[in-house]
Amino acid sequence: MVSNCYYALFNGCRSLNFIRTEQTSFTGCTNWAASTAASGTFVCSSTLGTQSTISRGASACPSSWTVSNGMWWGFYVQAKEAGATVAMQSSMYS
């Protein structure tokens, strides 16, 4: 991932309660999930982490969110806010 590509991407999105991603590291995600909803669901491959092993915090998976593992290919990020359809969706496939 490009250095700091997702810097502060969702910072301040207090209703954001769902992120699905195919990334394999949190490199470049400094403060990307700061000040999001207190609870939510983070869907990712087990390569990034599981409920017990994933990195937590503003620059990783939000601290109190539930982690759900799935199988993904390429790079894809989807985020939703309560009461909204899709707050952000981007994909990058080679």
Higher confidence at residue 22 or residue 74? Answer: 22
Rounded distance, CA 16 to CA 33, Å?
9
For the chain, percent of residues with pLDDT exceeding 90: 39
Rounded distance, CA 94 to CA 91, Å?
10
Tens of pLDDT, residue by residue over 73-88, are 545 566 776 666 554 5
**pTM for this model (two decimals):** 0.77
Domain ranges across the chain: 1-94
Instruction: Specify whether the backbone of 75 is left (phi greater than 0), alpha (psi in -120 to 50) or beta.
Output: beta
Rounded distance, CA 36 to CA 47, Å?
23
CA distances from 40 to 1, 14, 48, 68 (A): 24, 11, 17, 11
